[in-house]
């Protein structure tokens, strides 16, 4: 009993591992892995950078105040050394203020109350969970706005290792999901949108089946060796009687398992003729239909229209969230979905707004699914453009048809054979 229980545990563990592996390698599993990886990155970057954000604010404020004191002393020296209103004093005063302005931009201190982080009237943290999640998305998608970046040593080490592991996962997910969405959209386009562009080819009937007897009361006329399709149930008495007299070697050669798997037996006109298997099945029709759907080309205008609609949808959202105009919102959506990521326009910069974190999370979801849709459209556009270029190449005579290539290959092979015979 103990060995049987151990074997059962091993079988259950193997089945559990197989189910987990199926989930991981499935498309839904890949999406789940990317989302979990982004969430994990959001928590890790928040943990490493949130406290350092306060210390950075304190250091920037100290540096700014030291620069203020130096600027004040420089102005006093200018006033004491040169009379006010002279050209020399005016030039020196302008130089002092320009130096102060440039140093202020370099320091980046915005006058925040550093001790008030986390308080109701204090400044909001940039490195919240939503900020870390959005930053993780910019890493995985290689957008890289640059509006927020890790400052600590461990944060930068984590950023490099996180990108090395996450970018391949994201690319695999986008490629697979893009192919699946392309197949789904191609099917929808062939069945619904493009009415009548996909027509099933009817199978031609054999000439023997088209002939019939003029006497309608009797059975239809068939040639002596015509095939008759009849159902077969393996092992029943009726079947054995029906095929009694057939060659038993032929029946044994087919095998029971093969008969169950491949379909029905077909009896010839004479009982002495061998039994053959009918290879036709409903799966062949489904495969033929799917092959025809896979050859359907989606026009470029439809793919571009899908991209445009998704960009307009995102532009409307960010227009009301960030107060941008439609052009700026559309520009941001396109730069994001195409992974260009200039960083000149970024959402969620108003950290005093409590709803900014929710907007960052929604923006992350919008970006990930938008890139999957763009991957789908790029796949469809690539297929359409390849077909167009092949058509142009065939018209120009640069590209040969596959049939012509096969004929040329046969000619070359026959020539080699003739030379070898000589």
Q: What is the DSSP string of 345-364?
A: S-S---TTSTTHHHHHHHHH
Q: Would you list the domain boundaries of the chain?
A: 2-186, 221-292, 300-396
> In the chain, what is the greatest distance between 2 CA atoms, to the nearest angstrom?
130
Query: What local confidence, expressed as pLDDT, does residue 40 receive?
Result: 95
Query: What local confidence, expressed as pLDDT, does residue 419 receive?
Result: 47
Query: What is the per-residue pLDDT across 333-376, written as a single tens digit (0 to 9) for each?
Result: 999 998 888 888 888 766 667 677 888 888 889 998 899 899 88
Assess contact for 188 and 389: CB atoms under 8 A: no
State the architecture of 300-396 in CATH terms.
Answer: Orthogonal Bundle (1.10)
Query: What local confidence, expressed as pLDDT, does residue 329 receive?
Result: 93
Query: What local confidence, expressed as pLDDT, does residue 326 receive?
Result: 94
Ranges of residues in the chain with a pLDDT under 50 are 199-205, 207-217, 224-244, 246-280, 412, 418-419, 422
Query: What local confidence, expressed as pLDDT, does residue 213 receive?
Result: 43
Query: What local confidence, expressed as pLDDT, does residue 264 receive?
Result: 44
Query: What local confidence, expressed as pLDDT, does residue 177 receive?
Result: 84
Assess contact for 351 and 110: CB atoms under 8 A: no
pTM of the predicted protein model: 0.63
Torsion-angle region of 184 (φ positive above 0: left; ψ -120 to 50: alpha; else: beta): alpha
189: Cβ–Cβ under 8 A, 6 or more apart, which residues?
Answer: 296, 298, 302
In angstroms, the CA 401 to CA 404 distance is 5
187: Cβ–Cβ under 8 A, 6 or more apart, which residues?
Answer: 293
Torsion-angle region of 117 (φ positive above 0: left; ψ -120 to 50: alpha; else: beta): beta
Which SS3 state, helix, strand or coil, does residue 225 take? Answer: coil
> What count of Cα atoms within 13 Å lies in the side-chain half-sphere of residue 322?
24
Assess contact for 118 and 125: CB atoms under 8 A: yes
Query: What local confidence, expressed as pLDDT, does residue 312 receive?
Result: 95
Which SS3 state, helix, strand or coil, does residue 152 take? Answer: coil
Query: What local confidence, expressed as pLDDT, does residue 17 receive?
Result: 61
Query: What local confidence, expressed as pLDDT, does residue 38 receive?
Result: 94
Assess contact for 365 and 138: CB atoms under 8 A: no
What length does the chain have?
A: 422
Query: What local confidence, expressed as pLDDT, does residue 275 receive?
Result: 46
- Please give the DSSP secondary-structure letter assigned to residue 277: E
In angstroms, the CA 232 to CA 213 distance is 27
């Amino acid at each position: 009993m103990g060995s049987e229980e151990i074997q059962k545990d091993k079988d259950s563990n193997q089945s559990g591992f197989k189910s987990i592996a199926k989930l991981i390698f499935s498309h839904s599993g890949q999406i789940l892995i990317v989302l979990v990886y982004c969430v994990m990155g959001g928590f890790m970057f928040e943990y490493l950078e949130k406290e350092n954000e306060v210390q950075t604010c304190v250091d920037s404020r100290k540096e700014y105040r030291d620069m203020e004191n130096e600027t004040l002393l420089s102005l006093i020296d200018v006033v004491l050394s040169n009379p006010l209103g002279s050209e020399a004093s005016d030039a020196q005063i302008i130089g002092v203020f320009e130096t102060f302005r440039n140093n202020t931009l370099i320091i980046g201190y915005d006058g925040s109350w550093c001790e008030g982080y986390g308080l109701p009237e204090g400044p909001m943290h940039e490195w919240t969970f939503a900020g870390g999640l959005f930053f993780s998305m910019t890493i995985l998608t290689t957008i890289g706005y640059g509006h927020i970046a890790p400052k600590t040593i461990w944060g930068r080490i984590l950023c490099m290792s996180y990108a090395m592991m996450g970018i391949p996962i994201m690319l695999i997910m986008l490629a697979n999901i893009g192919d699946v969405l392309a197949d789904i959209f191609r099917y929808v386009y062939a069945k619904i949108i493009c009415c009548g562009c996909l027509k099933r080819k009817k199978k031609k009937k054999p000439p023997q089946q088209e002939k019939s007897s003029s006497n309608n009361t009797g059975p239809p006329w068939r040639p002596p060796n015509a095939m008759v399709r009849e159902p077969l149930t393996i092992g029943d008495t009726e079947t054995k009687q029906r095929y009694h007299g057939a060659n038993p070697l032929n029946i044994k050669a087919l095998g029971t398992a093969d008969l169950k798997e491949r379909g029905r037996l077909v009896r010839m006109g004479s009982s002495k003729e061998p039994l053959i298997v009918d290879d036709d099945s409903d799966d062949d029709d489904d495969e033929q239909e799917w092959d025809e759907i896979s050859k359907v080309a989606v026009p470029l205008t439809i793919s571009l229209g899908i991209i445009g609609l998704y960009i307009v949808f995102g532009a409307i959202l960010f227009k009301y969230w960030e107060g941008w105009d439609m052009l700026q919102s559309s520009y941001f959506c396109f730069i994001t979905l195409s992974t260009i990521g200039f960083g000149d326009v970024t959402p969620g910069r108003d950290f005093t707004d409590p709803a900014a974190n929710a907007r960052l999370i929604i923006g992350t979801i919008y970006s990930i699914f938008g890139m999957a849709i763009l991957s789908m459209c790029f796949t469809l556009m690539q297929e359409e453009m390849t077909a167009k270029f092949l058509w142009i190449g065939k018209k120009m005579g640069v590209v040969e048809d596959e049939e012509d290539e096969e004929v040329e290959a046969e000619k070359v092979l026959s020539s080699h054979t003739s030379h070898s015979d000589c």
